[in-house]
Amino acid sequence: SYFTKVTLDVHHGLGTSAYDYGLYDQGVWLMSRFHAPFVTLMGRNLMGDHTSFILVFLVPVYWVFPSAGALFFSQSLFIALGAVPVYLLGRRLLHHDLYAVALAACYLLHPAVSWSNRENFHPDSFLPPLLGMAIYAAVSERWRMYAVFFALSLLVKEDVSLVLVPLGVWVAVKRDRRIGLISIGASIAFMLVAMFAVM
């Protein structure tokens, strides 16, 4: 809630970039009113800039709170939720709750995490908990969970495949060859469709 307040204070003080914030606000608002998200700031469909399909999940939020706070709160929430997979991985690999809490705290207190939260709004902020949970699921060989969070990670942006392909390689080498190869293929296929068909 602290970072939501800080980002809203900056926004209300006219410190938010009209472009970086405005195009997402307009696009999600249009989708929440069942219109195509044609963003006038850039003169094209929101998904023609980046295939951030994850923003569709914000549409119900805009039915209730169609405001700057909805985007900034969502961003702060998802960045903070990135501490959950860090904690789970720490507990699994280090076998000690205190070490796991310390690692999660290190994540939350890292300056790059804090400053990315304050830098306008970007759909990339949804990635930390989604990718983190995919990694945790891969390490613990929970393949259904892995598939869900892997797919949700792909919805964040087309270039997330650049992170998911190496994860697929690790899965293929260290855990399950078939699942790893499927992960690599799905990542590349999604990126190509997103870049050359959707965008």
Can you give the pLDDT of all 199 residues of the chain as single tens digits? 676 677 777 766 666 666 777 888 899 999 999 999 999 988 899 998 889 999 999 999 999 988 878 888 888 899 999 999 999 999 999 999 999 999 999 999 999 888 887 777 889 999 999 999 999 999 999 999 999 999 999 999 999 999 999 999 999 999 999 999 999 999 999 999 999 999 8
Helix (H, G, I), strand (E, B) or coil at 151: helix
Distances, alpha carbon 6 to alpha carbons 68, 106, 116, in Å: 12, 21, 12
Residue type, 51: T
Task: Say how far apart CA 37 and CA 26 lie, in whole Å.
Answer: 7
To 5 degrees, how large is the angle CA 114–CA 115–CA 121? 105
Assess contact for 75 and 10: CB atoms under 8 A. Answer: no
Task: Say how far apart CA 47 and CA 155 lie, in whole Å.
Answer: 11
Cβ-in-10-Å burial (0-12, 13-18, 19+) of 37 comes to buried
Task: Say how far apart CA 133 and CA 147 lie, in whole Å.
Answer: 10
Half-sphere exposure of 144 (CA within 13 A, CB side): 0
What is the pTM assigned to this prediction?
A: 0.90
